Amino acid sequence: ITSNSSSDTTSEVATNQTTTQDQRRVDDRKKKVREQRGCVITELLQTERDYRMNLEVCANIFLTDREEGVKNGIDLGRLF
What's the pLDDT tens digit per position in 45-75? 999 999 999 988 888 776 776 677 677 777 7
Q: Which comes out higher in pLDDT, residue 18 or 11?
A: 18
* Phi, psi for residue 74 in degrees, rounded to 5: -85, 125
Would 1 be classed as within a structural domain? no
Query: In the chain, how many domains are there?
Result: 1
**Rounded to whole angstroms, how far apart are CA atoms 76 and 20?**
65
pLDDT of 1 reads: 47
Which range of residues forms the domain containing residue 56? 14-74
Proportion of the chain above pLDDT 90, given as a percent: 40
pLDDT of 4 reads: 57
Would 7 be classed as within a structural domain? no
pTM tops 0.85: no
CB 69 within 8 A of CB 76: yes
Would 58 be classed as within a structural domain? yes
**Contact partners, residue 70, CB within 8 Å, separation at least 6:** 76
- The mean pLDDT of the chain is 82
**Rounded to whole angstroms, how far apart are CA atoms 56 and 48?**
12
Would 5 be classed as within a structural domain? no
